[in-house]
Amino acid sequence: MHHSTWRMRRARKLAGEAVGYDQEYVDARLAGDLGQTVYDRRIELGLSQADLAERAGMTQPQISRMEGGDTVPTLPLLRRLAKALDGTLNLTIDAGDSSVTFTPHAA
């Protein structure tokens, strides 16, 4: 999606108009939500990106790209991330909405 399209939608939304979003927007939001969830848990645990990368068998740039919402990891990688973050990563994907949450394992 081009920047001008985003700006136009934002202006319409601010003007109170109903704005529909296409699949690119929904996918980008899911990637951003996933990245934010991983970031929040990493900070909660007091880990650096390098620490998390080592725990998950990844590289620090991979963690950075994922936390920035630039990439969505594969299912096996999500499994390793959940283990490295000591909890359960919950992805809910539905036709109209999606969400990402993290449930820490009990101490």
**Domain of residue 83, residue span:** 23-104
> pLDDT band for position 40 (50/70/90)?
very high
Q: Is 92 left (phi over 0), alpha (psi -120 to 50) or beta?
A: beta
Segment among 51-55, 68-72, 93-97 with least mean pLDDT: 93-97
Give the integer Cα–Cα distance in Å for 11 and 31. 24
Higher per-residue confidence, 27 vs 48: 48
Residue 100 to residues 3, 7, 8, 12, 23, Cα–Cα distance (Å): 26, 26, 28, 27, 17
* 5 within a domain of the structure (yes/no): no
* 45 within a domain of the structure (yes/no): yes
Assess whether pLDDT exceeds 70 at residue 98: yes
* 17 within a domain of the structure (yes/no): no
For residue range 2-22, what is the model confidence (pLDDT) as tens digits?
A: 556 657 767 777 788 766 656
* 83 within a domain of the structure (yes/no): yes
Assess whether pLDDT exceeds 60 at residue 37: yes
For residues 9-37, give the mean pLDDT. Answer: 77
Residue 19, pLDDT score: 62
* 66 within a domain of the structure (yes/no): yes
**CATH code (residue 48):** 1.10.260.40
For residues 24-42, give the mean pLDDT. Answer: 86
* 88 within a domain of the structure (yes/no): yes
pTM reported for the whole predicted model? 0.74
Give the integer Cα–Cα distance in Å for 83 and 42. 12
* 63 within a domain of the structure (yes/no): yes
Total domains, the chain: 1
Place of tokens 């096996």: 76
Give the integer Cα–Cα distance in Å for 87 and 92. 16
* 43 within a domain of the structure (yes/no): yes
Higher per-residue confidence, 96 vs 74: 74
